[in-house]
Amino acid sequence: MSAGAHQGAAAGQVEQMLQQVSPGRYDAYEALLQALAAGQVWMLLWHGQPGSPDAQYGNMEVDGLGYAPCVTSAPELAASGWNRAHEVVYGRDIAATLFPDRWGLWLNPHAPGGGVGIPWLDLRRIAGGLDRLPAGPLRICEPAIEIPQFYALLGQNAHRTPAVRSLRRAWVQPALGAPYLAIGLDLYDTGQPAVDSVRLMIQQSIGAVPEGLPVSTVAMNDEYDPVGMWMRANARPFFDRDAYAAGPAPAQAPAPAYGYGYPRPY
């Protein structure tokens, strides 16, 4: 297949998936993200030329979140009436460019109905691997399942793992896939020996988890992880090395359950 034909096929896949997206159809939205990760978009430049130091993408705000507008093919570019420069970019590349500044991507804002917005959290998933990060919007809350043996064993092993400052927990329900228990790891040191010691700590503790219960870990120093953000705001540590000398802490009100960072359904 020639480069032009491949580009056309990728654009066609994105546009085909875009037509399937509707409120509540998370399967169709996930398919759109997969097509976007493998395809290209036509980024609208507010000023400058592709590759020039002063090149700047357009921007728009929806529900208080920022997005860079783009179109999904050369025909859509013509239909949009955009008369400034544009830049053709791979979906994975533009996702990696935008999400660290918490910018999303808005597909075909000129289209009937206003197009579809991809929040920055989903661009993070595209950049990092859709199979590696849970599908949003996420519902996050305090775990209701009682597994005191696991928490006790994990706390004991954390005591013997000097790299661990504190541990938190949350129950995560992705838009697609099974719910799971997330353990937040707050470390003093993120060097490889420390990370290896924490991996061993988890391996030594995981046997106390009931069979069939998925468990995942979250790095609390990852400022872009929505589960980590929820934990920092709402979850009191169940292991806290620094707090033991300070005595017992006051009771904490129950944390709210919500999907962090995602806009309202379009």
- Taking 90 as the threshold, does the pLDDT of residue 212 lie above it? yes
Token pair, residue 256, equals: 């709210």
Q: How many whole angstroms separate alpha carbon 49 and alpha carbon 52?
A: 5
pLDDT tens, position by position, 46-55: 988 988 888 8
Are 102 and 64 contacting, i.e. CB atoms less than 8 angstroms apart? no
pLDDT tens, position by position, 147-203: 999 999 999 999 999 999 999 999 999 999 999 999 999 999 999 999 999 999 999
pLDDT tens, position by position, 213-251: 999 999 999 999 999 999 999 999 999 998 764 555 444
Antiparallel, parallel or unpaired: β 215-219 and 180-187: parallel
For residues 79, 25, 61, 124, the Cα torsion angle rounded to the nearest 10 degrees is: -100
Q: How many whole angstroms separate alpha carbon 93 and alpha carbon 68?
A: 14
pLDDT tens, position by position, 60-90: 999 999 999 999 999 999 999 999 999 999 9
Q: Give the global pTM.
A: 0.81
Burial pattern 110-139, b for ≥16 Cβ within 10 A else e, equals: ebeeebbbbbbbbbbbbbbebeebbbbbbe
Domains of the chain, residue spans: 3-128, 139-246
- Taking 60 as the threshold, does the pLDDT of residue 14 lie above it? yes
Strand, coil or helix: 89: strand
The CATH code for residues 3-128 is 3.40.1350.90
Q: How many whole angstroms separate alpha carbon 154 and alpha carbon 148?
A: 10
Burial pattern 181-205, b for ≥16 Cβ within 10 A else e, equals: bbbbbbbeeeeeebeebbeebbeeb
The CATH code for residues 139-246 is 3.30.300
